[in-house]
Amino acid sequence: MVGDDMMSRFPERLKELRKSRNISQQKLGAYLNYGYTAIANYESGRNEPSFDTLMKIAVFFDVTVDYLIGLSDEPMIMNTISISETRLLEMYRKLNEENKQIIMEMVGIIFEKRGKGFDEIG
């Protein structure tokens, strides 16, 4: 377990993330293979998660463990990509050149429909 001083923000961060994303204690518990009472106990500070569970919670909410336990106020590390972006990149890299071109054309169409070019992203 992480020391008490490092975990002092965890209960509030967990509850804040869960509520801001409209996730029930039951849904998070199911993802972790726990009952909702385990989540309630984490949020009340009665129990602390194992390192493995802490990492699973970070993955679920797409935040860093440092953010969850209060070592950082930034949910994501700057200059990193999210888990979904990593998955997308991994899939893209497995495509042949013809299919990569098709994907790029499709993305271009999406941006054209929104009235923005690639250089205007940001």
pLDDT value, residue 122: 42
- In the chain, CATH 1.10.260.40 covers 4-69
Confidence of residue 15 (pLDDT cuts 50, 70, 90): very high
pLDDT value, residue 103: 93
* CB 40, CB 25: distance < 8 Å: yes
Confidence of residue 59 (pLDDT cuts 50, 70, 90): confident
- pLDDT tens readout for residues 104-117: 999 888 888 877 65
pLDDT value, residue 79: 55
pLDDT value, residue 84: 80
Closest CA to 34 of 10, 62, 54: 54
- pLDDT tens readout for residues 33-43: 999 999 999 99
Q: For the purposes of burial, counting CB atoms within 10 Å of the CB of 53, is it exposed (0-12), middle (13-18) or buried (19 or more)?
A: middle
pLDDT value, residue 2: 45
pLDDT value, residue 1: 44
Q: What CATH number was assigned to the domain covering residues 4-69? A: 1.10.260.40
